[in-house]
Amino acid sequence: MRICIISDLHANLEALEALPGDYDELWVLGDLVNYGPDPAATIEFVRSRASTVIRGNHDHAVGFNADPQCSPRFRMMAEATRDFTSSTLSATDKQYLRELPTSARREVDAKVFFLCHATPSDLLYEYRAPDSPLWARSEEKASTASVILAGHSHLQFSRTAGERMIVNPGSLGQTKAADPRARYATWHNGRVELKALDYPVEKTASKILSMPVPDLVKRELIQVLRTGRA
């Protein structure tokens, strides 16, 4: 089975549509919405194609009108775009976000996968660095998993921690990998591959310019997309 693993889409439809379709299943690790200009279309794409979807902190924030508890650098952008996102989504879309699970387990190729947005001990909010020793500790929710899939940090990596593999596919819609390419991962024949792809960034940027948010927020969002830097 070939699995495509994506996270942190952030309503970036151009990045999502550039994703190769040569997969058997699509797994989504949360943050479908906020920051980007196409929240409704992103939700519809995921709803119609993904077999497993996890709720992220921004999905939770929009669905429940809650604080996304994002990093200080992104707080102003998150608050401004949350209002925009909420105003454009239907009641059905918001219900979909509210009903997404905060974790999931899947078994493929004799491997047990634990899927979450942030970390097994803090499913929505914890920022854990790729080299953190905490990945190796025993965490109850993921105790039987041989592979942990997590997003949230927008930092793409794959590493071994203890007896487990930890994989973060990076952010498809708002990468922090120092270039504008969208990041994702694949699982095939027992192997994980970290991927990057080009997409029409300037098309997304032009849509952001039309969003009803402060000009400073627009400039900041576009700068992050163009540079892949926070």
- Report residue 163's pLDDT band, with 50, 70 and 90 as the boundaries: confident
Q: Which domains does the chain have, with CATH numbers?
A: 2-227 (3.60.21.10)
Using CA atoms, how far apart are residues 169 and 7, in angstroms rounded to an integer?
7
Mean pLDDT, residues 6-31 taken together = 97
Query: Does the pLDDT of residue 132 top 90, yes or no?
Result: yes
Mean pLDDT, residues 125-133 taken together = 96
Torsion of CA 115, 118, 123, 126, to 10 degrees: 160
Give the model's pLDDT for residue 140.
87
Residues in CB range of 228: below 8 A, 6 or more apart: 175, 176, 177, 178, 179, 180, 181
- Encoded amino acid at 59, one letter: D
Give the model's pLDDT for residue 148.
97
Give the model's pLDDT for residue 138.
85
Interval 28-43: pLDDT, tens: 999 999 999 999 999 9
Of all residues in the chain, what percent carry a pLDDT higher than 70?
A: 100
Mean pLDDT of the residues in the chain: 96
Of all residues in the chain, what percent carry a pLDDT higher than 90?
A: 92
**Residue 43: helix, strand or coil by DSSP?**
helix
pTM of the model: 0.97
Give the model's pLDDT for residue 160.
95
Query: Does the pLDDT of residue 48 top 90, yes or no?
Result: yes
Using CA atoms, how far apart are residues 212 and 208, in angstroms rounded to an integer?
9
> Mind giving me the DSSP string for 46-100?
HHHH-SEE---HHHHHHHHT------GGGHHHHHHHHHHHHHHS-HHHHHHHHHS
